C-alpha cells in the first residue's frame, strides 16, 4: 500500500501538481486503510439524482473543485438532504452560491456522500519552517478555527505522544461520550493517528494533509473529508 501511495504521488509530481483533487485525497486514505464514508462524484444534477439512489438518503452534497477552498463557508456543502426534491434545491443553490464567489472556477461536479453522525474530530498535518513535519489532533468540524482546541506533536509520533495529545485537548471529555454522543474507541483513534503520521513519514513530499471531520460513531471512526497539498 505504501508503494501505491508513492506511485500516485510521483505521478502528480510529474504533472507539476501540488493540490490533490478530492478523489485523489480520498484515494490516499483508502490506500492507507483509513475508513471513509460512501461517496460518488456526479457531473450534473441528473447524474447526482441517479447517484443518490446508490448512496441513499439522507446524504450530503459537496462541490468538487480544486479552486474552491473553505467550501462550507461559501455554500459549497449541504447536509441532511432527504429527497430528490431537496437534492435539486440544494444543487441549484450551491451552484449559484459558489459561482458568485468563484465565477471563473473550474467545477468538476459534486460529491454525493453518505451522512455519518457522531463526534467530529480533526486529524491534520503541516510542515513548520522551523520544526518540520507536525501532526495535529483536536475537536473538528466547522468550529475548529473558532475553538482552536488542538494538540500538536512532531512526526513521527509514539503511542505515548498520541496518548498525551488526547489528554491535552480541553474537549477531551467528549471522547468518553457526552450528551448522547457515542464514546470514542481510543485504541482505534490512536491507530488512526499513527496511520496519518506514517503516511507523512514515508511521503515527506506531502506538505499538508487534513482529515476534517473524522466522525466517531458507535461502529468506529470514519473520515468524511480530506485535503492534501504537496510541497
Q: Domain segments of the chain: what residues?
A: 2-36+117-230, 39-114
Domains 2-36+117-230 and 39-114 fall in the same CATH topology = no
Phi, psi values for residue 213, rounded to 5°? -95, 160
Alpha carbon 206 to chain centroid distance? 15
The closest alpha carbon to 120, from 100, 106, 99, 139, belongs to 139
Name residue 228's beta-bridge partners: 209
Q: How many CB atoms lie within 10 A of CB 205?
A: 14
Phi/psi of residue 34, each to 5°?
A: -100, 130
Superfamily of domain 2-36+117-230: ATP-grasp fold, B domain (3.30.470.20)
Q: Report H helices in 149-185.
A: 159-168
pLDDT per position as a tens digit, 50-69? 999 999 999 999 999 888 87
Architecture in CATH for domain 39-114: 2-Layer Sandwich (3.30)
Q: Which pLDDT score is estimated for 173?
A: 86
Give the predicted TM-score (pTM) of the model: 0.89
pLDDT at residue number 149: 85
| pLDDT, tens digit, 9 for 90 and up, residues 174-194 | 888 877 788 999 999 999 999
State the pLDDT at residue 146. 52
Q: Tell me the per-residue pLDDT of 84-109, one tens digit each, with 9 for 90 and over.
A: 999 999 999 999 999 999 888 889 99
User: Which residues 6+ apart lie within 8 Å of 60 measured at CB?
Assistant: 77, 78, 79, 80, 81, 112, 113, 114, 115
Amino acid at each position: 500500500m505504501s508503494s501505491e501511495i508513492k506511485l500516485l504521488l510521483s505521478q502528480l509530481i510529474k504533472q507539476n501538481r501540488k493540490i490533490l483533487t478530492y478523489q485523489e485525497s480520498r484515494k490516499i486514505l483508502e490506500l492507507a486503510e483509513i475508513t471513509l464514508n460512501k461517496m460518488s462524484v456526479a457531473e450534473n444534477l441528473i447524474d447526482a439524482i441517479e447517484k443518490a439512489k446508490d448512496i441513499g438518503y439522507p446524504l450530503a452534497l459537496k462541490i468538487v473543485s480544486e479552486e474552491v477552498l473553505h467550501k462550507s463557508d461559501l455554500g459549497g456543502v449541504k447536509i441532511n438532504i432527504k429527497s430528490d426534491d431537496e437534492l435539486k434545491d440544494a444543487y441549484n443553490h450551491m451552484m449559484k452560491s459558489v459561482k458568485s464567489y468563484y465565477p471563473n472556477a473550474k467545477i468538476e461536479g459534486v460529491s454525493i456522500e453518505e451522512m455519518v453522525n457522531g463526534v467530529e474530530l480533526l486529524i491534520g498535518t503541516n510542515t513548520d519552517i522551523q520544526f518540520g513535519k507536525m501532526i495535529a489532533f483536536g475537536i473538528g468540524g466547522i468550529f475548529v478555527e473558532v475553538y482552536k482546541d488542538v494538540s500538536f506533536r512532531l512526526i513521527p509520533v509514539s503511542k505515548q505522544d498520541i496518548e498525551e495529545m488526547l489528554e491535552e485537548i480541553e474537549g477531551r471529555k467528549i471522547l468518553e461520550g457526552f450528551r448522547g454522543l457515542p464514546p470514542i474507541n481510543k485504541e482505534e483513534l490512536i491507530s488512526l493517528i499513527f496511520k496519518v503520521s506514517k503516511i507523512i513519514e514515508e511521503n515527506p513530499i506531502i506538505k499538508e494533509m487534513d482529515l476534517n471531520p473524522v466522525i466517531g460513531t458507535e461502529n468506529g471512526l470514519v473520515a468524511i473529508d480530506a485535503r492534501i497539498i504537496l510541497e
